Amino acid sequence: MLTVRAPATSANLGSGFDVFGAALERPADIVRVERAEETTIEMSGAGSEFIPEDPAKNTAGAVAEALDAPARIKIDKGVRPASGLGSSAASAAGAALALNELYDRGLSRSELVPIAAEGEALVSGEAHQDNVAPALLGGFTIVADDGVTQVDSSIPLVVCLPDIVVSTRDARRVVPDSTSVENMVDTVGRAATLTVGMHREDPAMVGRGMEDNVVTPARAKLIDGYDAVRDAALDAGAMGVTVSGAGPGVIAACYESDRSAIAGAMLDAFDDVGVDSRAYQTRIGDGPTVYR
């Protein structure tokens, strides 16, 4: 079977709601495909018991349909669903790349972004591309109406994933409809700082750019212990902390030497409020890899 390793991703990064995204070195989904008369899907791995195998309800199935590429698809989930780590996008991006290869469709990774986003439309109600773009292109990505911009980066990160489920669909409902000009000015400044920080590989600038007064405060309320976890990470040396995607994952940008202490502090802080969690010491990484 043709095999693709597709990375977890973190969208928004605070100031870039529905715009910024980053591929994570780990965790990742493994997607295997072979040609078939009709599409079937077998799921295994983290949280797979909560993911429908019906192709009409699975992001990989939506991609097979969009590419007109029926296949026997096996997905080993490394990225737990409803995590804020682009779980649904990892499978969609992995399937898009794998089926493009399997059927020699000849589409570029950029051309596969809107196709993989069909999977996001299926599960969250909107074809937002801020997870599938980094899942396919790697690095740091900016999704705008007129296209996607990508820059390689390798900023060290800690992602702490509590044992809480927050669906992207639910977390999109708490996003405010409007904001003040003051908040808009602050957000533009933060987003610009973060973008330059990615280009310069500067964790301190990226961290400053992760502040957000608009979407993150509303979503933080859905995550037990968020404020304590954020404070603990900052005390342990994080340069910036925010909700990963729609949550409940919490992401910290940092220097590599502080990663282990930050991971321990975040785990302890969740534990103090009675929430089990796991931490990934990771970094911004590459896009998917194809194995033949």
Ligand X SMILES: Nc1ncnc2c1ncn2[C@@H]1O[C@H](COP(=O)(O)OP(=O)(O)O)[C@@H](O)[C@H]1O
* Residues involved in catalysis: 120, 168
Residues in the chain: 292
Tell whether residue 170 is a contact of ligand LJ64HWYM (CB under 6 A): no
- For residue 243, the tally of other CB atoms under 10 A from its CB is 30
CB of 116 to ligand X, least distance (A): 11
- 185 exposed, middle or buried (CB, 10 Å; 0-12, 13-18, 19+)? exposed
**Secondary structure of residue 202 in the 3-state scheme:** coil
Q: Does residue 128 belong to the site contacting ligand LJ64HWYM (CB under 6 A)?
A: yes
The answer to whether residues 242 and 207 touch, using CB atoms and an 8 Å cutoff, is no
CB 60 within 8 A of CB 122: no
Question: Least distance in Å: CB of 122 to ligand LJ64HWYM?
Answer: 12
Closest approach, Cβ 244 to ligand LJ64HWYM, in A, equals 7
The CA distance from 197 to 206, in Å, is 5
Q: Site map for ligand X, 109-148, x if CB under 6 A?
A: --------------xx------------------------
C-alpha neighbours within 13 Å on the C-beta side of residue 255: 5
Of 56 and 192, which CB lies nearer to ligand X in the complex structure? Answer: 56
Q: Is 85 annotated as a binding residue?
A: yes
Positions in 36-95 near ligand LJ64HWYM (CB under 6 A): 84-86
Segment lying near ligand LJ64HWYM (by CB under 6 A), choices 63-71, 104-112, 123-131, 139-147: 123-131
Give the shortest CB-128-to-ligand LJ64HWYM separation in angstroms: 5
Q: Is 87 labelled as part of a ligand binding site?
A: yes
11 binds, among ligand LJ64HWYM, ligand X, none (CB under 5 to 8 A by kind): ligand LJ64HWYM
Residue 269 labelled as part of a binding site: no
Q: Are 135 and 95 in contact (CB under 8 A)?
A: no
Angle between helices 59-66 and 87-102 (to 10 degrees): 30
Binding-site string for ligand X from residue 53 to residue 92, where x marks contact by CB under 6 A and - marks none: -----xxx--------------x-----xxxxxxxxx-x-
Is position 269 an interface residue for ligand X (rule: CB under 6 A)? no
Q: How far is the CB of 258 from ligand X (least distance, A)?
A: 26
Q: What is the token pair recorded at 261? A: 């202490």
Asked if 94 and 109 count as a contact pair (C-beta separation under 8 A), the reply is no
Nearer to ligand LJ64HWYM, 130 or 258 (CB): 130
282 sits near ligand LJ64HWYM (criterion: CB under 6 A): no
**Cα 231 to Cα 252: distance, rounded to the nearest angstrom:** 11
Q: Is 82 annotated as a binding residue?
A: yes
Strand, coil or helix: 138: coil
Query: Residue 245 interacts with ligand LJ64HWYM (CB under 6 A)?
Result: yes
Phi, psi at 143, each rounded to 5°: -100, 120
Answer left, alpha or beta for residue 12, where phi above 0 means left and psi between -120 and 50 means alpha.
Answer: left
Q: Where along the sequence are the contacts to ligand LJ64HWYM (CB under 6 A)? A: 11-12, 18, 84-86, 128, 130-131, 168, 171-172, 245-246
